[in-house]
């Protein structure tokens, strides 16, 4: 049975992957995340996921599957939204998103070190934000402090109240790891979460 490595230190991706009851380790790759000239948000998410998985590839054949993932958010199809990092930038992001649509592109790649091959996909989710007042934004940010989250919210928490609706095949992609697509890709690689014993943690 191949080992599983998540190419990320994100606590949110780790928590998502833990839902599949698989034993895995986490390592953060060193990857330049600068967009290429003219690169679309979807292409950027795909490329970064691929680069993160490949960055940790062993030099020799190894019984290992590496999961790489990255997320790019766009406002009305134009502006890229990253992690705000602090309160003021988070306020600015939520003000800009108020009453508008933010599309999240989550790239996903599995590198199979046994064969030296990989598969890359991208899942998109359109988040329709409610019109938000400054008071609502301030109260929300004070309660959840989502400064390390793209778009300045945590959909798995109180952040769900920011939206009128979500459009997409997998809500987990909004958090950072599309588990429906990942399950299919792992099954193709011979690792079926439904047939594995419960991982010990």
C-alpha distances in Å from residue 24, one per residue of 3, 116, 125? 7, 19, 26
Q: Which residue has the tokens 């329709």?
A: 128
Q: Which tokens is 183 given?
A: 């399950």
The answer to whether residue 70 is catalytic is yes
> Torsions phi, psi of 108, nearest 5?
-140, 130
Q: Which tokens is 3 given?
A: 């080992």
Rounded Cα distance, 110 and 107, in Å: 10
Sign of the dihedral defined by the CA atoms of residues 164, 170, 171, 174, in that order: negative
C-alpha distances in Å from residue 111, one per residue of 21, 48, 55, 67, 68? 20, 13, 10, 7, 8
> Which of 63, 70, 134, 170 is flagged as catalytic?
70
Q: How does strand 101-112 pair with strand 79-81? A: unpaired
- Classify each residue of 155-165 as buried b or exposed e, where b means 16 or more C-beta atoms within 10 Å of its C-beta: beeebeebbee
Catalytic residue annotation:
70
């Amino acid at each position: 049975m191949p080992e599983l490595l998540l190419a990320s230190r994100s606590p949110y991706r780790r928590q998502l992957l833990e839902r599949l009851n698989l034993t895995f380790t986490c390592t953060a790759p060193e990857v330049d995340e600068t967009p290429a000239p003219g690169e679309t948000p979807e292409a950027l998410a795909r490329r970064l996921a691929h680069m993160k998985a490949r960055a940790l590839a062993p030099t020799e054949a190894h019984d290992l599957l590496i999961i790489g993932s990255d997320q790019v958010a766009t406002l009305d199809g134009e502006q890229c939204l990253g992690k705000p990092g602090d309160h003021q930038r988070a306020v600015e992001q939520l003000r800009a998103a108020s009453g508008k649509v933010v599309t999240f592109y989550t790239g996903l790649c599995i590198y199979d070190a046994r064969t030296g091959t990989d598969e890359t996909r991208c899942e998109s989710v359109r988040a329709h934000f409610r019109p938000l007042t400054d008071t609502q934004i301030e109260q929300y940010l004070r309660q959840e402090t989502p400064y390390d989250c793209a778009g300045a919210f945590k959909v798995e928490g109180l952040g769900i109240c920011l939206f009128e609706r979500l459009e997409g095949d997998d809500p987990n992609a909004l958090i950072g790891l599309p588990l429906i697509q990942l399950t299919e890709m792992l099954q193709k690689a011979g690792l079926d979460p439904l047939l594995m014993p419960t991982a010990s943690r």
